[in-house]
Amino acid sequence: MSQSSAAPIVKATALSKVVPSGASTLAILQDIDLAVMPGEAVAVVGASGSGKSTLLGLLAGLDTPTSGAVELAGTALFALDEDGRAALRAKLLGFVFQSFQLLPALNALENVMLPLELAGRTDAEPAAIAMLERVGLRDRLTHYPKTLSGGEQQRVALARAFVVRPRLLLADEPTGNLDAATGAAVIDLLFELNAEQGTTLLLVTHDEMLAGRCGRSIRLAGGRIVNGAGA
């Protein structure tokens, strides 16, 4: 589907998430309006509990809002059923999480091949090998996650995210479980891959220095955007 360069890759309108809390309710997100344009690198920052990860989950369709809408590459995300949202995610999105989210029963190569195989790609193995070489893990192809360091696991996760050449990469505290030096190296690699592929990046982080490497920041406080929503 061809998109105008003037169209946001992801857009949220009046997005809210309210959950039960004892006898009352808790508003995790309230009336979120934002737009991210193709090729942007945008940080989502704010204190713990401000709604950052919830926002990322809603923008990906991994969670459903109480009210409001999300458009992903021009498609109304919540007009689709769960299978439709999953298919759109597979086509457009890559993910990197704080907890790596590698499948423990698969080795590094198999973890990176998985999204390609799910997409029906016949070149899954050579493409995955090339991507693992790019992230410096050519000699770790047959290693299982439990035998890899945290930094190596996150490099596998980066390879898995970028191997499908996503239009939008969602990263949730990607260095949260890494020491400072390892985290810095992983972030350098993330930005290198992002630049090489021209991916749009939406990055949730507590780290103000990391946020400063993005083109702009969206700041959340108390479930509301306090600055930076516009594209």
Pair of tokens at residue 206: 């507590």
Specify the DSSP class assigned to residue 7. S
Domain total of the chain: 1
Is 4 part of any domain? no
pTM attached to this predicted model: 0.87
**Going by C-beta distance under 8 Å and a sequence separation of 6 or more, which residues neighbour residue 114?**
103, 106, 160
CATH of the domain at 205: 3.40.50.300
- Which ranges of the chain would DSSP assign to H, the alpha helix? 52-59, 82-92, 108-118, 124-134, 150-162, 180-197, 208-211
pLDDT digits (tens, 9 = 90+) for 23-77: 888 889 999 999 999 999 999 998 888 889 899 999 999 999 999 999 999 999 9
pLDDT digits (tens, 9 = 90+) for 180-227: 888 888 899 999 999 999 999 999 998 888 899 999 999 999 899 988
- pLDDT of 109 reads 97
3-state percent breakdown (helix, strand, coil) of the chain, nearest 5: 35, 25, 35
Is 5 part of any domain? no
Is 194 part of any domain? yes
Q: pLDDT class for 97, splitting at 50, 70, 90?
A: confident
- pLDDT of 176 reads 82
What φ, ψ does residue 37 adopt, rounded to 5°? -90, 155
User: What span, in angstroms and rounded, lies between the C-alpha atoms of 72 and 32?
Assistant: 15
- pLDDT of 209 reads 86
Is 147 part of any domain? yes
Range of 182's domain? 10-227
Is 168 part of any domain? yes
Pair of tokens at residue 47: 């204190």
Is 2 part of any domain? no
